[in-house]
Structure 1
C-alpha cells in the first residue's frame, strides 16, 4: 500500500500546481488524496506545516529526477553532470511539469507570506549551494563568492526559463538551448578567476575618469 503521508504530499503538489497555494484547502486535498481531513492534520498539524513539508517534497523530487538519487547514469565529467542537472528540469514529463509549476506557485505566494518566504529562502539557499559546489568541481580553484554569484544567476535563469516554457511562451528546445548556453558562459567566466594561491592576472589599464 502506498504510504499515506506521501500520498498527501503528492496530492498537495498537484493541487498547488493546478490551483495555486490559495486553492490548497483541506477539504479538497482530502478528496484528492483520498484520505480524511483528520489524517492530514495528524501528519502536518496545520496549513503552514503542510506547505513546509510540500515544499520539501517538491525539492526532494526535483533532486531525484535531475539525477541526485536516481535517473540517468551519471555523466563522465563534472561539467556534463552540471549541465544534465539543469537540462533535466526541462522535460515533457507530467511529474516535472507539475513540480516546476508548483514551485512557481509557491514562489509567487511567498510575496505576500513572510513565513513562506523564510521556507523558500532556506530551500533556495540549499539549491544555490549545491549548484555552486557543482561549479566548483567544474572549475576547481574558483573563489567561493564567484561560484555563489554564478549559481545565483543560473538558478534564477532556470526559474525564468521554466516559467516561460510552462506558460507556452518559449518552446522546450529553445529553453534547453538557452540554459546550455548560459552554463557555458558561466563556466568560461569562472575559468578566468585565478586559482587559489596563484598570482592574480594583470588587470588591463583603465581610463582615469568614471562613467555614471
Structure 2
C-alpha cells in the first residue's frame, strides 16, 4: 500500500473516530490527510470504498498491535498468548483508542448500511476465527464448535468492555480483570498461569 493511500486511511480513521461514519465528508477527509479530494476519489472511487478500505485498515492495524506480545514469554503457554492478544485491545494508546472507536462507529452504521454490514461481518468472522484457533491451542481437548462459541462470547465481551472503558463508565484495569475472568471461565475455571499476562482473576 502506498504511503499516500495509508495516510488517507489513517486520516479516515481519525475523522470517523471524531465525527462518526455519518460525519465523514470527503472534503474534511482530504483536509485531514493533506491531499486533494480528486486524489481520494482516485484511490477509493466513492464513499463506500473509503469505508470498506478503512475497515480493512483498522483490522490490519489491530492485527499488528495485538501481535506485540512477548513471544519469548508466551511461546510455551498458549493460554498466556491468548490472554495477551485479547488484552492488547485494552491498551491505553492513541492507536488502540482510535481503532476501537472507529470499529464501534462502523458497527453502528452497519445496522443501516447493507454493504457495510457484509464487510463488517467478514472482518468479525476473521477475528472470531483467529481467537478460536488460539482457544484450540490453549485447550486442545475441546471441540471446534465449542472454541468458536467461546471466541464469539469473548470478542463480543471485549467490544462491550472497550466501549465502556473508552466512554469513561468503566476503569481500564477493571475491564482487564473482567476479561481475564471471562477467559478463565471459558476455559473451565481458575488459571494461575494467566498471572504472567497481567490478569488478576477475582
The answer to whether the superposition gives a TM-score over 0.5 is: yes
Pairwise CA distance, 1:188: 1.5
Alignment gaps of 5+ in structure 1? 190-212
- Match among 59, 69, 72 for residue 72 of structure 1: 69
The aligned residue for residue 152 of structure 1 is 152
1:84 is aligned to 84
Q: Does the aligned pair in 1 maintain the 2:13–2:99 contact within 8 Å?
A: yes
- Answer with 1 or 2: which has the greater Rg: 1
The residue correspondences of 1:76-115 to structure 2 (distance < 5 A) are: 76=75, 77-115=77-115
User: Counterparts in 2 of 1:21-36, with a 5 A limit?
Assistant: 21-36=21-36
Structural RMSD (CA): 1.0
In structure 1, the residue matched to 2:199 is: none
Cα offset, 1:72, TM superposition: 3.2
Q: Which protein has the bigger helix share?
A: 2
Q: What's the counterpart of residue 11 of structure 1?
A: 11
The aligned residue for residue 53 of structure 1 is: 53
* Structure 2 alignment gaps of length 5 or more: 190-202
TM-score by length of 1: 0.85
- Runs of 4+ deviating beyond 6 Å: none
Matching residue of 1:204: none
State the number of aligned residues: 185
Contact 2:69 2:85 in 1 (8 A): no
CA offset digits 1:149-178 (Å, max 9, x no partner):
000000000000000000000000000000
Tell me which residue corresponds to 1:132.
132
Displacement after TM superposition at 1:141 (Å): 3.0
**Alpha-carbon distance in 2 for matches of 1:3, 1:132:** 33
Provide the C-alpha distance between the structure 2 equivalents of 1:125 and 1:98, rounded to a whole number of angstroms: 21
Structure 1 residue aligned with 2:123: 123
Secondary structure at the residue paired with 1:23?
coil
